[in-house]
Amino acid sequence: MLKYIVRRLILLIPILFGLSIFIIVLVHALPGDPCSSILGEHTSPDRLAACRHGLGLDKPLYQQYFDYMAGVFRGDLGTSATNRVSVVTSFLTRFPATIELSLAAMVVAIGVGVPLGIAAAKRQGSVFDNFATVASLIGISIPIFFLGLLLAYVFGVWLHWLPTLGRVNLRIYDFSHAGTNFLLWESLVINHNIPEFIDVVSHLILPAIALGTIPLAVVARITRSAVLEVLNEDYVRTARAKGLTSGRIDRRHVLRNAMLPIATVIGLQTGLLLGGAVLTETIFSWGGVGSWLFQAAVDKDFVVIQSGTLILATIFVLVNLTVDISYAYLNPRIRYS
Amino acid sequence: MLRLRIGALIAAGAIAFAACSGATTAAPSVAQPSTPAASSGTGGSTAPSTAPSGPTPVNGGTWIFGSASDPTTLDAILIQDGESFRIAQQIYETLIKLKPGSASDLLPGLAKSWDTSSDGLTYTFHLQTGVNFSDGTPFNADAAVYNVNRWKNLPAALQGDDYYDVTVFGGYGDNSLIKTVTKVDDSTFSLTLTKPKADFLTAMTLIPFAMQSPTALQAHHADLGSKDPTNDYWQKAPTGTGPFMFSEFVPGDHYTIVKNPNYWDTANAAHLDKIIFQPIADSANRLTALQSGTVDTIDFVDATQLKQISADTSLQLITRPPLDIGKLAFNQTQKPWNDIKVREAAALAIDKSALVNAFFPNGAGSVADSDLINNMPAYEPNTGVGTFDAAAAKTMLASSTCPPPCAITFWYPDSVSRPYMLDPKGEYEAIKPMLEAAGFVVTPNHKPWHGGYLTDEANGVYPLFFIGWIYDYADPADGPGIFYATSTADCNGVKETTPHNCEFGEDNPAVATAMAKAIAEPDLATRTQDWKDAMKIINADVPDIPLVWAGSSLAATTKIHGYIPSPTQTEYFNLVWKDAGS
């Protein structure tokens, strides 16, 4: 197992190298640069040239790449051209917000998707099954920005049930002295403040539903097909013949064996959510990594885009590695070498 | 320029000119200080205030302001963008301030009065006494001299990150317009320029020229530059003398300032306990947040939302007077626009009223006929080209060097909405048939605003294009003085040997001469006339088609009071208060 993990980690190096080249070429192939964002309209060509020189954008692309990678090897992932804050600082500040949102979205996705998929599989061909199939299709198809705006308008403006942006009611609660940016943790574990915790949770609900809808639909579909497949296995039929109860069969034989594809899709979706919550974070003004990268893309903030992408790619690979490792525990027959 | 432009200066050349006359100026003659003490120039309360009207202000409460983005820096001298201006305006103070809501009236700030030498080179500032920075250190002549020296000798690591320092003072060190700065006594210092600058005092109202605590700047290594990991000045300890002070910054989530309990000008202390700025990038989301009660006020309301907000009895619309110009511009060095008849034909062909009604509804804009805004002293109606006349346009084009069908390329930007250009593609689609009716054959072309459009446009690549301007201050020097300035910089890679205007190809020597005269003229009345003369020469060249004068709007719940909108967005939040218990 250890050998397998080391090999996967070594494989990360060429992946990140390739990705770094791909990103820098892609970003620089786009027209424009951060200087037009910084200087705005009616700047003069000489000020543009001075700005480009200051940011090193007048150097050949290969030289910019080597300069950048030299910084990466020194542990310097660069500084934003827009607000002059280091990428690492910005990332570490914002990542907890993204983690909280992604995990909340996965709670929605797994909490609803897995039972929905199991129920649909066990009632294959029924009205409920057809409903679940159509619902998951809608869930996969619905644009997040539309769903997000709809949720905010209905539950925020019309019903006034839930807040539509931010992570906490700043009129009441103050996290300025919190040790981390994990507000769930801070409110519940550090502050032991239940009303504060409830407020943080209430701010999570709408963005988590918006972000979790697609993974929910994916998880439900995969669960349904995985369970269906296992339900037709000989050992399940044998278990029934032995007179085991339905619940025992589901827990011991069906779910255990169906969990592999489900774990895979959950891992992939979690990895995607960690870096892909751009729309949700923007709609709900969630100060996470997604809205940070979105703004960087708008500003053509090359360094932030490059380094942010590399960090997220690393995390994505590590999450997938974790999922792979979890296979061994889910199914002892799997051995890595 | 500047991403969300803020404006901040004004036409208040008046002050500068009084100064240049050698008068001893206790308080600017055009200013209407809010307190007797200020108007006498003997010190006392000078912070922006407003005459009491309506209900009595309530103290206390938290105000949540839905802004468009995070600030990009709060090291004052480096500030360029609107969101940073907005916050800095509350925690810092300048030597001279603007009267709330005015674009031209100056008030004493941290300087209670000033003298100007007869040659217009030396300014002596008499400072307010008993003022401390929010870190408890004193604001005095030593602190002021430290700040001015920092502007003059901007640390190398910061050079290039600034905008206003270079724009106002022309450079750093020996290249700076600031020659010397000297402490006279604890509450007096003098500043000498290398040459007279008519709008110097006006420039001193800009928040980048605010006073910051030398102790905080040094303790947080602000001069080491942004790449130095020990420099956390603006994220952790931006320190000024203002009615509010820094509390907390969580990037992407909120920026919080709180009432300064030791504010020196007690008569103008803040009403609110706390202000939280929450960045909400999308205007629709900002409105949703306002309607749901999550925020109390939002800025940059879309023109399409104005009617909805006006109809909502729980909301109020706060409209800033216009100081933006949107236009369709030519590059006169490119065919067919090198023929003034073709430019005139295009100008006659466009029905500006229809355009403004369609794209700037509900009073979001008005028809423009000049690069100047119609509330500027130097503005005069443009009589150079007639108003919309499709038949005359057709006749004019027929007599030009590009008779119908006259093929042209029309550039508009993608991925942007500016106050003066809310829907570039839509506006292009509306103008296209107007131009075609005159005999033009229009080929559209477009690029992302920050994806090459601005760069190409500045380099003179486009023959016909949308562009606009948000004035920093209501002075033509900040508009046409920049648009039509010439330099020997490369234009689109072509090395220029003589001064040249890349962007518009406006190379008429008479324009350059007239503008130079106006910019250097210290007397306000003469200067205004000079600009009128210069604009006549500029308008005769038809370098562009001014389309719209636009302002911007905020929306707030009806629980918010005391907000005084400013055309330059120099807005003071110590005046704002909320209904009790809201």
Contacts of B160 in chain A (CB under 8 A): 50-51, 54
Query: In the numeric block, which tokens belong to residue A278?
Result: 């751009």
Contacts (Cβ under 8 Å, ≥6 apart) of B178: B148, B151, B152, B169, B191, B192, B193, B194
A194: number of Cβ within 10 Å: 10
Which residue from B103, B96, B110 is spatially nearest to B43, judged by alpha carbons?
A: B110
Task: Give the per-residue pLDDT at B496.
Answer: 67
In angstroms, what separates the C-alpha of B346 from chain A's closest C-alpha? Answer: 23
User: Tens of pLDDT along A192-233?
Assistant: 999 999 999 999 999 999 999 999 999 999 999 999 988 888
Given a cut of 50, whether residue B14 has pLDDT beyond it is no
Percentage of chain B beyond pLDDT 70 is: 89
Mean pLDDT, to the nearest integer, of B451-460? 81
Is the predicted pLDDT of residue B113 greater than 90, yes or no?
Answer: yes
Nearest CB to B452 within list A31, A157, A166: A31
What is the rounded CA–CA span in Å between residue B335 and residue B340?
Answer: 11
The H or E element spanning position B540 is helix B524-541
C-beta atoms of A41 and B160 within 8 A: no
The closest alpha carbon to B289, from A282, A152, A146, A101, belongs to: A152
Confidence tier at B353 by pLDDT (50, 70, 90) = very high
pLDDT at B38 over 60: no
pLDDT on residue B546: 96
Flag whether residue A199 sits within 8 Å of chain B, measured between CB atoms: no
Nearest-angstrom CA–CA distance, B537 and B531: 10
pLDDT per residue as tens digits for the range A4-60: 778 878 887 888 888 889 888 888 887 667 777 666 655 666 767 777 787 788 888
Are A46 and B487 a contacting pair at CB < 8 A? yes
Token digits for A303? 């360094």
Helices (H), B350-448: 352-359, 390-398, 424-438
Give the range with max mean pLDDT: A3-7, A288-292, B131-135: B131-135
DSSP per position, A244-266: --HHHHIIIIIIHHHHHHHHHHH
Which amino acid does the sequence have at A167? R
Residue spans of alpha helices (H) in chain A: 2-29, 34-39, 45-54, 61-73, 87-122, 127-141, 144-151, 183-185, 194-231, 234-241, 246-249, 256-276, 278-283, 289-298, 302-330
Measured between CB atoms, which of B252, B284, B450 is closest to A288?
A: B252
Buried b (16+ CB within 10 A) or exposed e, B531-566: bbbbbebbbbbbbbbbbbbbbbbbbbbebbbbbbbb
pLDDT in tens, A222-232: 999 999 988 88
State CA A6 to chain mean position distance: 25
What would the pLDDT profile of B427-441 be if each residue is shown by its tens digit? 999 999 999 999 999
ipTM value for the complex: 0.74
Decide which of B11 and B362 is more confident. Answer: B362
Minimal Cβ distance to B293: which of A43, A83, A160: A160
B309 pLDDT more than 80 = yes
pLDDT at B10 (0 to 100): 32
Is A36 at the interface with chain B, CB within 8 A? yes
- Which chain A residue has its CA at the smallest distance from B74's CA? A83
Total-model pTM: 0.78
pLDDT at residue B327 greater than cutoff 60: yes
Contact B344, B395 (CB under 8 A): no
Residue B22's pLDDT is: 37
Q: Do B285 and A164 touch (CB under 8 A)?
A: yes
Distance from CA of A237 to the nearest CA of B (A): 54
A304-330 tens-digit pLDDT:
988 998 888 888 888 888 877 777 676
* Predicted local confidence at residue B21, as pLDDT: 36
Q: Which of A39, A165, A283 is the closest to B294 by Cβ?
A: A165
Give the range among A313-327, B467-481, B559-573 with minimum mean pLDDT.
A313-327
pLDDT score of A276: 59
Contact B282 A44 (CB under 8 A): no
Radius of gyration of chain A (CA): 24
pLDDT at A124 over 50: yes
Q: Do A166 and B294 touch (CB under 8 A)?
A: yes
Cis peptide before B336 (omega within 30 of 0): yes
- Residues in B closer than 8 angstroms to A43, CB to CB, are 1, 454, 458
At residue B194 the predicted structure's pLDDT band, cuts being 50, 70 and 90, is: very high
The shortest C-alpha distance from B63 to chain A (Å) reads 8
- How far is residue A264's CA from residue A219's CA, in Å, rounded to a whole number? 10
Give the per-residue pLDDT at A336.
Answer: 59
Residue A159, token pair as written in the block: 């019903």
pLDDT at position B89 is 95
- In this structure, of B47-61, B416-430, B441-455, B463-477, the range with the lowest mean pLDDT score is B47-61
CB A213 within 8 A of CB A150: no
Strands, E, within B368-510: which ranges?
Answer: 406-414, 440-448, 464-470
B359-412 pLDDT tens trace: 888 778 899 999 999 888 899 998 777 789 999 999 999 999 999 999 999 999
Q: Which amino acid makes up residue A104?
A: A
Instruction: Give the lowest-confidence range in A81-85, B105-109, B212-216, B392-396.
Output: A81-85
- Per-residue pLDDT tens digits for A168-179: 888 888 887 788
What does the pLDDT average to over B196-210? 87
What pLDDT score does B200 carry?
86
Inspect the interface and report whether the beta carbons of B292 and A156 lie closer than 8 Å: yes
Tokens (6 digits) for B434:
């107007």
What pLDDT does residue B416 have? 74
* pLDDT-wise least confident of A176-180, B260-264, B512-516, B551-555: A176-180
* pLDDT score of B483 more than 50: yes
Whether residue A202 lies within 8 A of chain B, CB to CB, comes out as no
For an interface test with B, give the residue of A285, A294, A302, A307 to mutate (most B CBs within 10 A): A285
Confidence of residue B82 (pLDDT cuts 50, 70, 90): confident
Residue A256 has pLDDT above 60, yes or no: yes
pLDDT at position B153 is 95
From chain B, pick out residues whose CB is under 8 angstroms from the CB of A30. 451
Q: CA B397 → CA B301, B346, B401, B544, distances in Å? A: 40, 8, 8, 16
